[in-house]
Structure 1
Amino acid sequence: EPPDDVVRDDAEHHAEDEPHAVLRGEQQPGERAEYKRYRKELEDMGPVNMLALGEYDDEKQRYDLLASQLEDLQDTRSTLLDMVEEYDNRSRTQFLETFNAINEKFKETFKEVFEQGGDAEIQLTNPDDPLESGVEIAVQMPGKRMRNIHLLSGGEKALTALTLIFAILKVKPSPFYLLDEVDAGLDESNVAKFKRMLMTYSKQAQFLVITHNKGTLIGADHYYGITMDSNEGYTKVLSVSLEQ
């Protein structure tokens, strides 16, 4: 049996070596397994790429450039969207102002043309989005209920459409109008109404009317006739001024 001092020396020796044993993974099985796991992870990573830092700097510069360009594009897009919204709001306001003004003049002119009564108005098919909306004409002929213009007779449609044209003339006058056989579907009484409108509004604008209706010709300032010369094979223009 060794002396007590030898046993004590061995204990002290092992106590001094214990930290080193833990660091080397020689005495702790759990830490040894963890050490092996970390070492395997390092091995799985493969060799270190010494050019990685340089490649990172290149990619970072490219990323910063693209990020800056993207930010510029987003700012430009935001500016354009704001401009579009501003123009849409302005267009919507101007459209509704003009639409309402024409609608009021349309009602007024309709009552002037149809002296027996009746009413008419233009309506938006989609009031929530007027810029993308269609426009319909609703008409109430004297003694009848309000209905869409498509349900009217041919003569009523033509005269109502002409009434709308003259209503637009009141809101946004034009110096010149060309009407091509717009009276073709009108009966004698409606031709008289059409002629009365022409006589009234011809003081504000010039009307060139193409017609085969004798009732429309009455009251015109000038006549221009187009005829074919069958012998010579070309057309001739004949003009007559009632002022002469």
Structure 2
Amino acid sequence: MNLSYVSRVFQSTRLGWRIGVASVRAGLIAVVVMTLAGCASSVSVVETWDGNPASAADAATLEAPGEIRVTRVNGSVMGNFLMEDLALDYALLPGDNEVVFVYKTIWAKSGVVRNGESKVHVIESEPQVVRFEAEAGETYGFEFDRPESRQEAEQEMPEFSAEIVSSAGTSVATSTVWDPSEQMTASRTPIPASTAESASARDENALEQLKSIWETASDEEKKAFLRWAFE
């Protein structure tokens, strides 16, 4: 076997190995891209309720751009995502909704940046709240002034507010600074009327039973009950 033949075989084998590695890399890249695309589509619409309410089939949609980070809907905390500036759609149950959000702008720093120092200026608004009645199947969005410079953003941020507009461009609500003491109760899941009525009847029956038991209880039993109730 001459050396030229061995050299040709070696070069051919090495070329085939390179092509194989390139194919594997391309396949891995394709898998990663498809995985990321699948993840993006799975988190691009965020449900804002607990359970399986019937009205979820007619949910409205609130489109939030990357500058808007929704933190709470109807008292429920919205999850954090790996990409903070991800534009997301929030599915809202028809009816009254309360949305708490923060508006954030990012500006590159000019000049030399020291080691460990952030390369950008991050300017955020105070937490904002907006309350509006969502119509079934309607799509809403945020509308607000976008500053053209960091200085403009810093000046406007203390007075920042955003409007919620319908798909027709009609303003339905304007945000204000959020007061946590005025928030709605968490997880607005409608209770069917029949269930609410039966629950009310059970509460009345339980109350009457407690009254009758209290009237027949001894002083020591009443004291023991009060200690248990207020522990």
TM value normalised by structure 2: 0.28
* Rg (Cα) greater in structure: 1
Indicate the structure with greater strand content. 2
Ranked by relative contact order (alpha carbons within 8 Å, sequence separation 6 or more), the top structure is 2
Larger helix fraction of residues: 1
